[in-house]
Amino acid sequence: METLKILIPYPTGHDTTSIRTILFNNLIPILKKNVDVKIVRIIYQPEKTRDLPKETSDIVTFDLRSYSDAFDVLKKEKPDIIYANAYPGFIDYAFSLAGKKLNIPVVSISIYSSRNISSLGFIKFYGRKLLSSSVEVETNKNKKSFMRRGKFIFYKFNFLLKTLLSAKLNFLEIIKKIFLIIDLIILRQPKYIDPRLAVSMHYLRNETQEKELLSVGFKPSTLLVTGHPMFDHTFKKVLEKEEKQKNSKIRILLVPDPLYEAGVWTKEQKDLILNQIVKEITKFKDNFFLKIKVHPSSGILSEYDSLVYLIDSSIPIIQEGSMEEYLDDADVVIAYSLSSTGLIYSLIAKKPIVICNFFNESDGGSGEGLIAHKLALECKNISSLIDTINNSLLSNVSYESNRKNYIRKYFYKDDGLASERICSNLLQLTKKNI
């Protein structure tokens, strides 16, 4: 059997659940029906990672700091395909540029959404990032130091600069590419992917994305609507029509989005909303059972523990694994961000959703208008939380029709075969026999 070697820049720890982890956990078994697979994970963290995992039959892991630039990585590891997102990130863009120069196909799962934030707001946001003493994707969340995140951002920028120099571009071309990335990150925040960041193939979540990208200048041959593979398992599970068990208490799964860790919210905002929600629900312990699922890669578990346990030490707080693993034991899901990917898992699994929108976030992000589509209830103040939870559990005759229409619009198909469609194309891109 031929071997298909896929290289993935990895911004989280090797043992941390992330979108990239879920994506390739779904793809590997399908690809192995046709070829041997070797996943090359290139981890990058604020410091060089010690004790990297041993190589397995499917996965080998290296530290980005062992290489000088993206060309150095690619020439030494010789992948057949590179996975790098087509957005203005220093590391992804470095690998995308180097892959194009070396004629190695670069693929991307296209997820994009725009926040309604002014340029000044984004400058303040990145200012907080530069000054932050911690890094949200770091494996050890307890490591803190002066401007830790700023120094990490500078390392990533320096890696891109070295890659641009290795590409043997002239000075003017290098300046143009650097300003392109900075402009897209901070100043313009385009609604769609910029065609100047295009890669060999973009796997799209829905046909709307395809039309949008075509309208801004993407080549049709680089776009393929597949649906998103990270939701395949949940779609298939729903198709199995599992029976819902009845319980004496309403089981609430709270999924706080790491907006503070990402630098979008202040710590005061995060602590305030979490404190209010937990206190309000614990007033009604006879009726509700609360469980909290912290983001697996960005959430700082110790900060949730210290705050929640002061209110009620019996509340389970978990971080390990994907959110979908905990939906079977939930009757209703509460989030306080409309950008949470967990909302999509909840929608697919037909779980009632309550969004505590105490800071008036716009109805967009990963949840793309769940409130407007009448697929989630919005709670704007803590005094109405309990009523909103109870109302979310009431029967709604239009819910299933709304849900199916939403899935068709934003996720292409509900067959759970997005991974199959992507794998078929990956094999075609590398001219492997199917």
Q: What value does the mean pLDDT take over residues 134-162?
A: 80
Residue 191 pLDDT class (50, 70, 90 cuts): low
Q: Residue 125: CB partners within 8 Å, gap ≥ 6?
A: 117, 263, 264
Is the pLDDT score of 62 beyond 90?
Answer: yes
Is the pLDDT score of 138 beyond 90?
Answer: no
Residue type, 231: F
Per-residue pLDDT, 258: 82
Kind and range of the H or E run holding 428: helix 418-429
Residue 356 pLDDT class (50, 70, 90 cuts): very high
pLDDT tens digit sequence for 164-186: 999 999 999 999 999 998 888 77
Q: What value does the mean pLDDT take over residues 130-147?
A: 68
Taking CA atoms, 17 is separated from 119, 122, 296, 316, 416, in Å, by 32, 28, 6, 19, 20
Per-residue pLDDT, 115: 47
Q: Is the dihedral of CA 137, 139, 141, 146 positive or negative?
A: negative
Is the pLDDT score of 244 beyond 70?
Answer: no
Per-residue pLDDT, 379: 94
Q: How far apart are CA 240 and CA 345, in angstroms?
A: 16
Q: What value does the mean pLDDT take over residues 124-143?
A: 65
Is the pLDDT score of 396 beyond 90?
Answer: no
Per-residue pLDDT, 76: 97
Is the pLDDT score of 240 beyond 50?
Answer: yes
Is the pLDDT score of 136 beyond 70?
Answer: no
Q: 65: how many CB neighbours lie within 10 A of its CB?
A: 15
Per-residue pLDDT, 366: 46
Is the pLDDT score of 133 beyond 70?
Answer: no
Instruction: Starting at the earlier edge strand, list the strands of the sheet with 106-110.
Output: 59-63, 36-43, 3-10, 81-83, 106-110, 201-204, 223-225
pLDDT tens digit sequence for 228-239: 888 888 888 887
* 38: nearest Cα among 87, 75, 77: 77
Contact predicate 177/164, CB 8 Å: yes
Per-residue pLDDT, 139: 66
Residue 125 pLDDT class (50, 70, 90 cuts): low
- pLDDT top residue among 22 and 366: 22
Query: Beta strand pairing status for 106-110 and 3-10?
Result: unpaired
pLDDT tens digit sequence for 83-122: 999 888 899 999 999 999 999 999 998 765 544 455 555 5
Q: How far apart are CA 28 and CA 225, in angstroms?
A: 20
Residue 261 pLDDT class (50, 70, 90 cuts): confident
- Where does residue 13 fall: left (phi above 0), alpha (psi -120 to 50 degrees), or beta otherwise? beta
Per-residue pLDDT, 336: 84
Work out the mean pLDDT of the chain and round it to a whole number.
86
Per-residue pLDDT, 262: 75
pLDDT tens digit sequence for 286-321: 999 999 999 887 788 888 998 999 999 999 999 888
